[in-house]
Structure 1
Amino acid sequence: MKYIIIGGDAAGMSAAMQIVRNSEGNEIVTYEKGETYSYGQCGLPYTINGIVDSTDDLIARTPETFQEKYGIKTHTLHEVTKVDCEKKMVYGTNHHTGEGFEDHYDRLLVATGASPNCPPWEGIESEGIFTLKTIPDVEQIMNYINEDVKNVTIIGGGYIGLEMAETLCDIGKNVQIIERGERLAKIFDEDMSELIHEQAEQQNVKLTFKESVEGFKTNDNGRVRCVVTDQGEHPSDLVLVAVGVTPNTSFLQGTGIFTSVDGAIEVNAYMESTIKDIYAAGDCATQYHRVKQRPDYIPLGTHANKQGRVAGLNMINTPTPFKGIVGSSIIKFFDAALGKTGLSEHEAEAIHFPYTSVTIDSTHAAGYYSKDDPMKVKLVYNDKTRALLGAQIIGGEGVDKRIDVIATALYHSMTVDELVDLDLSYAPPFNSVWDPIQQAARRA
């Protein structure tokens, strides 16, 4: 059996390794349009402020390792541009030579990931304007930043925008975030976003809301010097565009492969697309949301690795379902941890789930042990069935622990009342006798 995998990062190589480890006598061929295989995209911001020493530290395995140790044929700078489902052929361009290539598969995995959105603003191609998704992206930013770069503007207040704001403040830059909406981190509800705004302001990050970017102006050297919005101009020596991503699926147009949420390939529990023998996984595919009970699109590295593993097993006839996600994430933003899982109020409202919520102020440790570690906990639940729908927690230490407890509870469809009965660990340095999430559950 010949397996072709398009994409050499988390989902693609997780699948390839499952095929290697759980079958024999197969041919595995991978095509990657970039130069790097199997690297930790989530660590990219932390190379700029030196927390991660080098981009080399983010690479789990090189193409040579996959080829020499595991027998996986790896091709860098090979971009697949067309798939013929009837002939079971892929076609593309070898960017090493500029020549075309073609190859036949028995089973195909599309693991092409997603690309940063880059709106067609006037001057978007100017020097000093960047996106962040790959190792070459971060290396270009690091090569550009010097002592002359003082004012940095980040367009977008999502994951990347927040993490990069912290990173750039760490290296002494003046940072502004422009967000066309009314708040940062829209995965959180408005009352929780206020805490994020407070954290930004404490760190002297300038926040500009309800302004739409229209373009950029440059100096005589062609370098960006300001961001132009519908409200005015903002001096900028460097601009980071962080306004979301789009699945890399446009090359599949005309194949009959069904795409749904945000253009992602809709897959079933076995990572199968709507075309026989074509699978998809990672940031180019949908994920089944266990709380919403429908396909969703939340592109994160955790999902990509899990979906890739499942896809690889199913491609070698080892039926393994992907059990779905509950929408868990956590962001470090200066001194705060921002944790979220399940549905927010606005998400529940958007899909017409009956809901209510409860919010409490608590502490990570016992109150008499430490009063310096505040934590705000918000639970969202179905006000008719009492089913837990989601949680948002913002604080310092211990946010990760609590958000993971809620994620586990959501996975097992627990009610808000059942949280009270959980046997959670306790000692004064780590907890109160009633954990903050249980305090919230009791309030509910």
Structure 2
Amino acid sequence: MKIIIIGGDAAGMSAAMQIVRNSTGHEITVLEKGGVYSYGQCGLPYVISGKIDSTEKLIARTQETFRDKYGIDARIFHEVLQVDSENKTVSGIDHSNEESFSLSYDRLLIATGVSPVVPDWEGASLSGIFSLKTIPDAKEIIDYMQRDIKNVTVIGGGYIGLEMAECFAELGKKVTIIERNEQLAKIFDHEMAQFIHEEAEKQNIILKMGESVEAFSGKNQVEFIKTDKGEYETDLVLIAIGVRPNTTFLEGTGIIKSVNGAIQVNAYMQTSIKDIYAAGDCAIQYHRIKEKDDHIPLGTHANKQGQIAGLNIVNIHKTFKGVVGTSIIKFFNLTLGRTGISEMEAKLLNIPCQSVTIQSSDIAGYYPNNKKLTLKLIYHKETHMILGGQIIGGDGVDKRIDVLATVLFNSMTTDQLLDLDLAYAPPYNGVWDPIQKAARRVK
């Protein structure tokens, strides 16, 4: 069987490895638009900050490894421009020599990921304006930082924006975040986001909230950024306002798209067209709490969906069980964790909900060096089924969010959360874990 995979990162190569490990006799060709295979995109901010000393450390397996060890025809600089679903061919340009190519397939996996959204702002082509998605993006930023950079502007207060604001501040730059909404990290409820704002201000991050970017100006390189409320001097700009699935090349194939232009797939990662699969950031994910399709592009989902797609391509049937919306980020001295849906989302979905918010500590309150945690638990007003959780604090956020993610995956109630037998010793926890303390407040 001829199997073609478009995209050589998390989803695509997870699928390729499952095919190699669970079947024989197939001809596997991977077409990667860029020049690097299988790397940890989430580590890029830490390379820029210097915490990780090389982009090479982010690469899980090289093109040569896939070719020589696993027998995968892993190609680079191969951009697919068209899929002919009737004749089962893909065609495009090999940018290493600018020659066209056309290949036939028996089964096709689309794992093309996403690209950063960069609006058509005036002056956006000036040098010194960047987005961050790939290793070449990170290298360009690192190279540009060798100049006399004092003022850095981050557009967007989501996860990438916060991570990069921290990165630039740690490098000694004066950092401004411009966010068109009235809060940073809008996946958190407003009162929880205030802790993020306070931490930003403690770290001398300048916040420009409720402002929309209009244009950039400068001589050859960016020098000023103009919003609807003012103009600010800047030496470097990082745009982090969101991403868009790389699916425009699929026009005319009959493949159905869904949320945000992401490819509609079923639990087997099959698209609406026979023998074409999709996985990762370019595909939708079923949200178990919302009970509807969603688009949450994260490496965890991409790897899982890729594995499942690879198995189904070789007729080993397995289904993707969906997501609950779990994520976590380090922001200076805070850890920001959330899972499920927020109170804002519950109201938009017309789900009757209530919430409880508590202050607690990561370990026993009497034990030295305990760290404050603020925890919000969202639950169904009538059934008391847990809908989501948000935790912001120092240590111990990660393990509580993971417990809550497990609770959500298994559709547990606040009473069932209280029944969980969680680990306790004063250096690690209080006799009642903070998430159980919150559940005890539910009436």
Give the TM interval when normalised to the shorter protein.
over 0.9
Q: What is the 5 A alignment of 1:186-201? A: 186-201=186-201
- What is the Cα deviation at residue 297 of structure 1? 0.4
**Distance of 2:278 and 2:327 partners within structure 1:** 22
- What is the aligned partner in structure 1 of residue 392 from structure 2? 394
Which amino acid in 2 is paired with 1:432?
Answer: G
Which amino acid in 1 is paired with 2:21?
Answer: R
1:301-324 CA distance string (max 9 Å, x none): 000000000000000000000111
- What is the aligned partner in structure 2 of residue 203 from structure 1? 203
- What is the aligned partner in structure 2 of residue 57 from structure 1? 57
SS in 2 for 1:44: helix
Q: What is the 5 A alignment of 1:13-412? A: 13-146=13-146, 148-219=148-219, 222-370=220-368, 372-412=370-410
Are 2:364 and 2:370, in contact at CA under 8 Å, matched by a contact in 1?
A: no
Are 2:339 and 2:389, in contact at CA under 8 Å, matched by a contact in 1?
A: yes
Which amino acid in 1 is paired with 2:49?
Answer: N
Are 2:327 and 2:339, in contact at CA under 8 Å, matched by a contact in 1?
A: yes
- What is the aligned partner in structure 2 of residue 427 from structure 1? 425
Which amino acid in 2 is paired with 1:200?
Answer: A
- What is the Cα deviation at residue 3 of structure 1? 0.3
**Distance of 1:311 and 1:363 partners within structure 2:** 42
**Distance of 2:132 and 2:286 partners within structure 1:** 27
1:105-149 CA distance string (max 9 Å, x none): 000000000000000000001000000000000000000003510
Which amino acid in 2 is paired with 1:22?
Answer: N
Which amino acid in 2 is paired with 1:135?
Answer: I
Are 1:83 and 1:255, in contact at CA under 8 Å, matched by a contact in 2?
A: yes
**Distance of 2:146 and 2:181 partners within structure 1:** 31
Which amino acid in 2 is paired with 1:181?
Answer: N
May I ask how many residue pairs the two structures share in their alignment? 442
- What is the Cα deviation at residue 48 of structure 1? 1.2
- What is the Cα deviation at residue 370 of structure 1? 3.5
Given the two structures, how large is their TM-score scaled by the length of structure 1? 0.99
Which amino acid in 1 is paired with 2:399?
Answer: K
SS in 1 for 2:383: coil
For residue 439 of structure 1, the aligned residue among 419, 437, 440 is 437
Which amino acid in 1 is paired with 2:321?
Answer: K
- What is the Cα deviation at residue 254 of structure 1? 1.0
**Distance of 2:73 and 2:369 partners within structure 1:** 57
Are 1:363 and 1:371, in contact at CA under 8 Å, matched by a contact in 2?
A: no
1:215-269 CA distance string (max 9 Å, x none): 10113xx110011111110110000000000000000011110001000001000
**Distance of 1:329 and 1:210 partners within structure 2:** 25
**Distance of 2:213 and 2:105 partners within structure 1:** 44
Are 2:363 and 2:370, in contact at CA under 8 Å, matched by a contact in 1?
A: no
Which amino acid in 2 is paired with 1:197?
Answer: H
Q: Which consecutive aligned stretches of 4+ in structure 1 deviate over 3 angstroms post-superposition?
A: none
Are 1:2 and 1:107, in contact at CA under 8 Å, matched by a contact in 2?
A: yes
- What is the Cα deviation at residue 371 of structure 1? 6.1
Which amino acid in 1 is paired with 2:160?
Answer: I
- What is the aligned partner in structure 1 of residue 411 from structure 2? 413
- What is the Cα deviation at residue 352 of structure 1? 1.1
- What is the Cα deviation at residue 373 of structure 1? 0.7
- What is the Cα deviation at residue 99 of structure 1? 1.2
Which amino acid in 1 is paired with 2:253?
Answer: T
- What is the aligned partner in structure 2 of residue 3 from structure 1? 3
Given the two structures, how large is their TM-score scaled by the length of structure 2? 0.99
SS in 1 for 2:69: helix
**Distance of 2:146 and 2:91 partners within structure 1:** 42
Are 1:38 and 1:62, in contact at CA under 8 Å, matched by a contact in 2?
A: yes
Are 1:153 and 1:236, in contact at CA under 8 Å, matched by a contact in 2?
A: yes
SS in 1 for 2:224: strand
| Percent of residue pairs bearing the same amino acid type | 62
**Distance of 1:346 and 1:103 partners within structure 2:** 47
Are 1:169 and 1:175, in contact at CA under 8 Å, matched by a contact in 2?
A: yes
Distance 1:428 1:147, change over 3 A: farther
**Distance of 1:132 and 1:376 partners within structure 2:** 31
**Distance of 1:30 and 1:421 partners within structure 2:** 48
Which amino acid in 2 is paired with 1:281?
Answer: A
- What is the Cα deviation at residue 372 of structure 1? 4.6
SS in 1 for 2:223: strand
**Distance of 1:17 and 1:365 partners within structure 2:** 41
**Distance of 1:204 and 1:434 partners within structure 2:** 36
Structure 1: 5+ residue stretches without partners: none
